[in-house]
Structure 1
Amino acid sequence: MGFLSQGTGEEETSSGGASPPTGPGDGFGARFVAPVVIGSMLNPVNSTMISTALVPIGRSFQAGASATVWLIAGLYMASSVAQPAMGRVADRLGARRVYLAGLVMVGLAGAAGLLARSLGELIAVRVLIGIGTSAAHPAAMAMIRAQSVRLGGETPGRVLGALTIAGLSSAALGPVLGGLLVGLAGWRAVFGVNLPLAATGLALTLLWLPKDEPRRAEPGRGGTWTALDPLGLLLFTGALLPVMFFLMRLRQHPWPLAALGAVLTVALILWERRARQPFIDVRMLAANGPLVRTYLRCGATYLVIYCILYGYTQWLEEARAYSALATGMLMLPMCAMAALCSGMVARRRGVRRPLLAGTAAMVAASAALAFTGPGTPVWLLVAIGLVFGLPNGLNSVGNQAAMYAQTPAEQTGTAAGLFRTAQYLGAIASSSLIGLLYGQRASTGGLHTIAIALSALATVLLLATLADRGLARDGG
């Protein structure tokens, strides 16, 4: 969800692309929900589907884990910047237009992946996929908000719930789908699958989603370009990218990048404090400690989750010599557990108990990885993945629910955009840790070192969750 992607009510849509609904039920029926769900699935499924293709890609281009990790980082670096930026553009220029443009970019990137002749070209393709899928999700949220305003009612919980479950489920099922595609058609299939997905989304959007209405001028608010806060966006990008490159190159100790990121962050804060329409409302963040802690908890959680999605699958393929298809099947119970838990938590009001349960499972499963090796029976490998499915579902939904509870209603779009950025930073940190500790090959010794690091981080996260009074006020 991007910054301000909820809209202001002026992005109301007309029925140019669909028959006018006669009531809320008709306006949020299957014809509306299906296209926006496809958009919400594209980024998470592409982020995790690549996990079972990393080893085959590395073999094709004679590249090790420290090189193929850029296939992960490229998408997350692009998404970290593009997700909030595209949300802002969708809010100003029309959500349906941005949604369609994102789907076109995803389809073109998928075709380019089928033709790529080097690892560098594949990394560029992943960057394009990150930008295209980042347009889809915030635009989908903006269209839902516009539909609610047009119908004169609140958004049904089942619609937002459908998007949340679809995103989590597609991320969890990504390794299984990737393993199936690689096993049946080779690693290029994980790029080519974006063609039918994007084409389906385009067709359903053109047929069923209402067109954008022309925007009306806002007296005293400046033009569209000014309202996008271009300097704020540039400073946000400039502050974020050095931090990401620093995380990706920890082995080289690139402290100048960290210093540059810190300087640009200060510049960003100073500018946004005086901007009339800030890209990021830093005043709101400074006054909302529980929300900031939720961002930190989200980033740490996804660092652990993605270390498993990427690091564990690479170890299964290289150290245990399982095929991509077999690895995907071994990860299937984890995916099923994550989907089941996310559905259960989505129906609960309290967030503290699910977060504590998920984090405790994270500690246990991370510790168990330290005792796995070449002779570990298959059932135990599956059981470890099954336990990791608990935080994948419980913590993902719990942190998102906490974010909504801790955010002022008028700041939901901004807060949600930063939530996704925190998630991407955690994912990038995980890919950096994998590259740092694995090196050229996913060895058992490297997995044990990762397990020790994750156990320590999960323990700190559990203690911090227990001590967070903001969560205690949210109830059980």
Structure 2
Amino acid sequence: MTGRHAVPEAIPQESPAPAAAPAQEAAPGFSGRLTAPLLIGSLLNPLNTTMISTALVAIGHHFGIGAADTAWLISVLYLASAVAQPVLGKLADVLGPRRVFLVGLVVVIASGLVGTVAPSFGWLLVSRLLLGIGTSAAYPAAMAVLRDESARIGRAAPRSVLARLSFAALGSAAVGPTLGGLLVMVVGWRGIFAVNVPVALVAFGAALLWIPADPPGRRAADGVAPRLGLDPLGIGLFTAALTVLVFFLLDLAHPMWWLLAPFAVLTAALVRWQLRRPDPFIDLRMLAGNAALSRTYLRHGVSYLLIYCVMYGYTQWLEEARGYSSGHTGLLMLPMSVAALVCSLLGARTKGIRGPLTLACVLLTVGAGVLMFLSGDTPLAVLLLAGACFGIPQGLIGTSNQAAVQAYAPARAIGSAAGLQRTAQYLGAITASSLIALAYGQSAGDHGLHLMAGVAAVLGVLLIVLTVTDRALRGRT
């Protein structure tokens, strides 16, 4: 990210089409054929983040491991995605989005095959690592494809196209637990991995047919060819620091305090290197001078920490403490999925940001409060209500924070800004898996659920304060 001023543009305008080409300007552009592979590819990452939630118990029983170990299946995907999203976004700008999109799908196919035949838990971790890298290519590549199409026809991508791209991510994440539960019930937990193969193959074939070849001599909006600017040392330091932090967080029951020393050293080295580079991997100066954008990242990360505590922690409790099967658990999470889908559509239609975000934060806190009082004899209606309390915020938060990023991010760095928003979301998910591992240990029980819900309720109150007191949200559209 290299910009310094916030400009409320969703996608920076490319050079307009020549006036002498009226036929090209009249071309419809952004057709269903162009957007179909982009939507299919973009749903794979969020789908896999939530689909596995109803398979964790079955995987743990198969390999004889507990919740603290299966939490690695969550964290390894997010760790890979947190790093890969901004990196692959830059590669899409430099090498061409179609190439990056197709290569990412090949990696997804490989990950699905590895997970389907995995003989040990270690191979499942390899599969999830590859899945995190492969699926991270789709969203930034899709944004770059839309920018290229904008340049070709001389107009920006319609808001409806961007809304569909957002809905694909939100919708797939919302239906993930239900779909995962049905797959585990019908074909077993390996179906969670195998399903990626046909979906990626369909997206790959559609991309070959309908996504135009990458234009030669890619240029930025001002006509200047973009520099490579991948900053491999910055990427390496960021990856190393984040990996050390995750290792520390995943064993909070027996914290390895010595890991904080290398984490501090790596973080200091990363900050110093990023401040010295003219084109850093993470533009710290821009983030320090753009408080509204930084607060958006913080708000997004904390919100998804709470959401994923329910996505993973609540589903494990339903299976282990209440004795529901994976399929029944998926059905119990259906109200949350439906509420998230409906509210993501409503959130895309709202003009304001502060109102939907405030409502979402309040519901997150209420939902956490409900979880604190669940037990083995809680009526089924209350269990359904608890899930719905988290489904509504999931739909509102995704669209509202995306609008905030578009409003506050530098116009020439929307793609990188969106990638960092995803990184904040992944960090929230990693922290959620760490909290779950600490609360549950080797078994998901009432005490662990109440401990996790109590922490979530405190964070929910802080999130309300952060949202209500954010003056930048007033009057933004």
Q: TM-score, normalised by structure 2?
A: 0.92
Residues 3 and 413 of structure 1 are in contact (CA less than 8 Å); yes or no, is this contact kept in structure 2?
no
Amino acid in structure 2 at the alignment position of 1:58: G
Residue 17 of structure 1 aligns with which residue? none
Amino acid in structure 2 at the alignment position of 1:243: L
- Whole-angstrom CA distance in 2 between matches of 1:281 and 1:342: 30
Residue 164 of structure 2 aligns with which residue? 162
Map 1:199-218 to 2 at 5 A. Answer: 199-215=201-217
2:143 to 141, 151, 155: 141
Residue 102 of structure 1 aligns with which residue? 104
- Whole-angstrom CA distance in 2 between matches of 1:378 and 1:405: 42
Q: Which piece of structure 1 moves more, 251-260 or 391-400?
A: 251-260
Q: Which piece of structure 1 moves more, 383-392 or 265-274?
A: 265-274
Q: Which piece of structure 1 moves more, 290-299 or 122-131?
A: 290-299
Amino acid in structure 2 at the alignment position of 1:150: R
User: Relative to structure 1, is the Cα distance of residues 143 and 178 closer, same or farther in structure 2, using a 3 angstrom cutoff?
Assistant: same
2:39 to 12, 34, 37: 37
Q: How many residues of Structure 1 are paired with residues of Structure 2 in the alignment? A: 463
Residue 472 of structure 1 aligns with which residue? 474
Aligned-pair identity in percent equals 50
1:222 deviation in Å?
10
Residue 50 of structure 2 aligns with which residue? 48
Correspondence 1:92 to 2:94:
yes
Amino acid in structure 1 at the alignment position of 2:215: E
Residues 74 and 127 of structure 1 are in contact (CA less than 8 Å); yes or no, is this contact kept in structure 2?
yes
Residues 84 and 136 of structure 2 are in contact (CA less than 8 Å); yes or no, is this contact kept in structure 1?
yes
User: Relative to structure 1, is the Cα distance of residues 147 and 468 closer, same or farther in structure 2, using a 3 angstrom cutoff?
Assistant: same
1:326 to 320, 325, 328: 328
Deviation string, structure 1 residues 219-248 (Cα, Å, up to 9, x no partner): xx9996x53222222222223222222222
Residue 269 of structure 1 aligns with which residue? 271
User: Relative to structure 1, is the Cα distance of residues 125 and 7 closer, same or farther in structure 2, using a 3 angstrom cutoff?
Assistant: farther
1:213 deviation in Å?
2.4
1:217 deviation in Å?
9.2
- Whole-angstrom CA distance in 1 between matches of 2:101 and 2:2: 15
Q: Flag structure 2 segments of 5+ consecutive residues without an equivalent.
A: 4-9, 18-22
1:401 deviation in Å?
1.4
1:418 deviation in Å?
1.4
Residues 57 and 319 of structure 2 are in contact (CA less than 8 Å); yes or no, is this contact kept in structure 1?
yes
- Whole-angstrom CA distance in 2 between matches of 1:31 and 1:410: 27
Residues 437 and 446 of structure 1 are in contact (CA less than 8 Å); yes or no, is this contact kept in structure 2?
yes
Q: Flag structure 1 segments of 5+ consecutive residues without an equivalent.
A: 13-20
Residue 406 of structure 2 aligns with which residue? 404
1:337 to 331, 336, 339: 339
Residues 301 and 424 of structure 2 are in contact (CA less than 8 Å); yes or no, is this contact kept in structure 1?
yes
2:68 to 48, 54, 66: 66
Amino acid in structure 1 at the alignment position of 2:198: P
Map 1:48-447 to 2 at 5 A. Answer: 48-215=50-217, 227-447=229-449
- Whole-angstrom CA distance in 1 between matches of 2:161 and 2:315: 33
User: Relative to structure 1, is the Cα distance of residues 24 and 164 closer, same or farther in structure 2, using a 3 angstrom cutoff?
Assistant: farther
- Whole-angstrom CA distance in 2 between matches of 1:60 and 1:91: 43
- Whole-angstrom CA distance in 2 between matches of 1:103 and 1:179: 24
1:286 deviation in Å?
1.0
Q: Secondary structure at the match of 2:329?
A: helix
User: Relative to structure 1, is the Cα distance of residues 161 and 222 closer, same or farther in structure 2, using a 3 angstrom cutoff?
Assistant: closer
- Whole-angstrom CA distance in 2 between matches of 1:9 and 1:102: 25
Residues 92 and 228 of structure 1 are in contact (CA less than 8 Å); yes or no, is this contact kept in structure 2?
no
- Whole-angstrom CA distance in 2 between matches of 1:185 and 1:7: 45
Residue 20 of structure 2 aligns with which residue? none
Q: Which piece of structure 1 moves more, 39-48 or 25-34?
A: 25-34
Residues 295 and 422 of structure 1 are in contact (CA less than 8 Å); yes or no, is this contact kept in structure 2?
yes
Q: Secondary structure at the match of 2:389?
A: helix
Residue 7 of structure 2 aligns with which residue? none
Amino acid in structure 1 at the alignment position of 2:69: A
User: Relative to structure 1, is the Cα distance of residues 423 and 329 closer, same or farther in structure 2, using a 3 angstrom cutoff?
Assistant: same
- Whole-angstrom CA distance in 1 between matches of 2:130 and 2:207: 21
Deviation string, structure 1 residues 242-289 (Cα, Å, up to 9, x no partner): 222222222232333333233322222222223232222221111011
User: Relative to structure 1, is the Cα distance of residues 3 and 169 closer, same or farther in structure 2, using a 3 angstrom cutoff?
Assistant: farther
Q: TM-score, normalised by structure 1?
A: 0.92
1:445 deviation in Å?
1.3
Residue 15 of structure 1 aligns with which residue? none
Q: Secondary structure at the match of 1:358?
A: helix
